[in-house]
């Protein structure tokens, strides 16, 4: 059984966090405080840690360095340091040097080995990251690390996000109680193919690195890897999970229901909040595909529908154009039977076993006026497999934000 609690990333015992301003982000308007742009999450020492990284081959320097450190440490880390405002991506050998120096500065500040530090960056691609600003920020963050520092850390990783994203749950099991917390950022350039945006999960459960790694991959497939804002997989996507073990509740299998449920609830909430806060988004849309011949087919069809610009613009305009949903599912590459396929917007069936019901369009339009919408598509393939994706509408505001992202 899980219960939502306060505390976000530092709700589990054994973790401290901080968020500081070190001048990477643009200066705010006159009279406004400097923007937070560096976050630090630290355990009491090296703890079991797992990660999932972007599959984009244009991979950013921080991802390369964090992979190397996890490999060398055998899946144990003492800290994650994240800057916003600059992605340190596509910056050549100099960018890799800066990412390593970012880890070195953090290791020095915390008194740990350098390969026990993981690094992440988010922001504009192709811009050099100022290591002097990073060093200043890391030193400042290390001085103010605290068990209630999650709010500043969560804000410090934001870029175009309209609001911070944090969540935590308390999990009761027959063997005791443990906690899972997390924070995430992401608003545009979102379609994880694993991973996603940037996210950090923490738990005070006792779990070895290999078990945590398998559990994280499984959970990410159902959460962070089931969202899309614009179909764009970033160069910097990553999700980290750290386990302090301080609750004493031990898990030796990655399929343990309590461990999976706790991680899934936190990751799922953060993933949906990313979509809810998508650039220019006004609606959170759940796409559920049923009647698929396989899970792979269900996921393929759901992703195709969720990424369709025609579907997303129709939803933004409140147009119950079920034909766009059918067409997207039909072109997805999944096994599909038009004569047996069905589509519903909310509880309004608009296309049933190959037969349209346009007389229900007005009722469906009322559903589309809501801020949260559920769309169900039966592929008619006769299978029992299902999948869910979360997406948002596509608005003129998205174009405005991304038309001037660098300028």
Q: Which of 4, 36, 10, 7 is nearest to 23 (CA)?
A: 36
**Residues sharing a CB contact under 8 Å with residue 283, sequence separation 6 or more, in sequence order:** 315, 316, 368, 370, 371, 372, 373, 392, 393
For residue 31, count CB atoms less than 10 angstroms from its CB and return exposed for 0-12, middle for 13-18, buried for 19 or more.
exposed
- Quote the CA–CA distance of 196 and 233 in Å, as a whole number: 8
Residue 92 CB neighbour total at 10 angstroms: 10
Q: Among 196, 203, 290, 376, which one carries the catalytic annotation?
A: 196
Q: Which residue has the tokens 């949903």?
A: 325
* Cβ pair 266, 367 in contact under 8 A: no
Return the axis-axis angle of helices 322-331 and 295-307, rounded to nearest 10°. 130
Return the axis-axis angle of helices 92-110 and 61-73, rounded to nearest 10°. 50
**49 catalytic per annotation:** no
Number of H helices, E strands in the chain: 11, 17
For residue 86 the two structure tokens come to 């600059």
- Quote the CA–CA distance of 353 and 337 in Å, as a whole number: 9
- Quote the CA–CA distance of 349 and 237 in Å, as a whole number: 37
What letters, b where the CB count within 10 A reaches 16 and e where it falls short, cover 241-272? bbbbbbbebbbeebebebbbbbbbbbbbbbbb
- Quote the CA–CA distance of 327 and 332 in Å, as a whole number: 9
According to DSSP, the β-strands at 165-173 and 176-185 are antiparallel
The helix/strand/coil state of 184 is strand
**Residues tagged active-site:** 196
């Amino acid at each position: 059984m899980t219960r939502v609690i306060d505390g976000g990333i530092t709700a589990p015992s054994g973790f401290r966090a901080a968020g500081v301003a070190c001048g990477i982000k643009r200066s705010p308007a006159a009279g406004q405080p400097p923007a937070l742009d560096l976050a630090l999450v630290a355990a009491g020492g090296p703890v079991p840690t797992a990660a999932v990284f972007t599959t984009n081959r244009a991979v950013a320097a921080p991802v390369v360095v964090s992979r190397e450190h996890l490999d060398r440490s055998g899946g144990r880390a003492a800290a994650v340091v994240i800057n916003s405002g600059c992605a340190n991506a596509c910056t050549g050998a100099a960018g890799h040097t800066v990412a390593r120096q970012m880890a070195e500065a953090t290791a020095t500040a915390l008194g740990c080995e350098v390969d026990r530090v993981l690094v992440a960056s988010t922001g504009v691609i192709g811009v050099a990251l100022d290591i002097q600003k990073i060093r200043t920020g890391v030193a400042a963050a290390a001085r103010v690390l605290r068990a209630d520092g999650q709010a500043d850390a969560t804000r410090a990783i934001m870029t175009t996000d309209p609001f911070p994203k944090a969540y935590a749950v308390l999990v009761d099991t027959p063997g005791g109680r443990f906690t899972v917390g997390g924070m995430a950022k992401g608003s545009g350039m979102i379609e994880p193919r694993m991973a996603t945006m940037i996210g950090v999960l923490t738990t005070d459960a006792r779990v070895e690195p290999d078990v945590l790694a398998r559990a994280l991959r499984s959970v990410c497939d159902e959460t962070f890897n089931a969202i899309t804002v614009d179909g764009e997989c970033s160069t910097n996507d990553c999700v980290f999970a750290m386990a302090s073990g301080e609750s004493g509740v031990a898990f030796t299998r990655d399929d343990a229901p309590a461990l999976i449920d706790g991680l899934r609830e936190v990751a799922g909430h953060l993933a949906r909040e990313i979509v809810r806060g998508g650039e220019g988004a006004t609606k959170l849309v759940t796409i559920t595909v049923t009647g698929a011949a396989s899970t792979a087919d269900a996921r393929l069809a759901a992703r195709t529908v969720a990424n369709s610009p025609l579907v997303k613009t129709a939803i933004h305009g409140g147009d119950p154009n079920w034909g766009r949903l059918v067409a997207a599912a039909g072109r997805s590459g999944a096994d599909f039977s038009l004569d047996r396929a069905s589509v519903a917007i909310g509880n309004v069936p608009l296309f049933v076993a190959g037969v349209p019901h346009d007389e229900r369009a007005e009722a469906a339009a009322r559903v589309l006026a809501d801020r949260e919408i559920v769309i169900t598509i039966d592929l008619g393939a006769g299978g029992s497999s299902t999948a869910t994706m979360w997406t948002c509408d596509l608005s003129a505001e998205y174009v405005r934000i991304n038309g001037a992202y660098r300028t």
